[in-house]
Structure 1
Amino acid sequence: MAYYAVEYVYDPSMTETMDEVRPTHRAFLSGLLEQGINIASGPLVGEIPGALILINAESQADVERILNEDPFYVAEVIQARLIREWNPVIRAF
């Protein structure tokens, strides 16, 4: 297993859709947390709307497959998604 840092950049013109879909998006991420896949997730603070998700998975392809089911991804509110393998050298988990 490896860790992956996933950055979402949201489409700022889709705030209404995001508000509608957010409960199912968070339920989806909570389900991944219960499975030990989602290590942590939450919105990024600043001018560019987005989020950071830390994922535990076998491969980047697995991360893509898993997150393709995210209701935000399905609703096309994600303008960009960057997935990078992450090597936590100092960690509390």
Structure 2
Amino acid sequence: MIWFTVETTYTQDRDALHAARPGHREYLSGLVEQGRVAAAGPWADDSAGFAVYRVADRDELDRLLAEDPYTTGGVVAGRTVNEWKIVLGSLAAQ
């Protein structure tokens, strides 16, 4: 399994963002239960969000991101994805 960090910046359409947020959080909660998301949440200023994914490969990550209600709801302005090699901390042992 591979770890990825994903920062998602939001569009300026706050109404669309708030409309998509409940579905987005429900979707991510399901991924947490499946062990595919370790942590997720918005920045304090609500300009973007950050999540840590654990998936088989980049193709799986891309599929999960494509199915996210933020993506399908059109509120994603951009994403920064990085493969993360964890060497210290509780996630390193997983």
Q: For residue 26 of structure 1, what is the amino acid of its counterpart?
A: R
- Partner of 2:26 in structure 1? 27
Contact map agreement 1:2 1:85 (CA 8 A) in 2:
yes
* Root mean square deviation, CA, Å: 1.2
2:29 is paired with a residue whose SS is helix
Residue by residue over 1:69-91, the C-alpha shift from the partner in whole angstroms, topping out at 9 and shown as x without a partner, is 00011011010011110011111
Tell me, yes or no, if structure 1 residue 6 matches structure 2 residue 16: no
Tell me, which stretches of 5 or more residues in structure 2 are unaligned? none
- Partner of 2:35 in structure 1? 36
- Partner of 2:49 in structure 1? 51
Q: For residue 23 of structure 1, what is the amino acid of its counterpart?
A: P
Q: For residue 49 of structure 1, what is the amino acid of its counterpart?
A: S
Q: Which runs of 4+ in 1 moved over 4 A?
A: none
Partner of residue 79 from structure 1, selected from 63, 77, 80: 77
Residue by residue over 1:13-58, the C-alpha shift from the partner in whole angstroms, topping out at 9 and shown as x without a partner, is x110111111111000000000000110001234x71011100011
Tell me, which stretches of 5 or more residues in structure 1 are unaligned? none
- Partner of 1:92 in structure 2? 90
Q: For residue 59 of structure 1, what is the amino acid of its counterpart?
A: D
Q: For residue 33 of structure 1, what is the amino acid of its counterpart?
A: V
Task: Report % sequence identity.
Answer: 31
Give me the whole-angstrom Cα distance separating, in 1, the residues matched to 2:74 and 2:16. Answer: 9
Contact map agreement 1:40 1:54 (CA 8 A) in 2:
yes
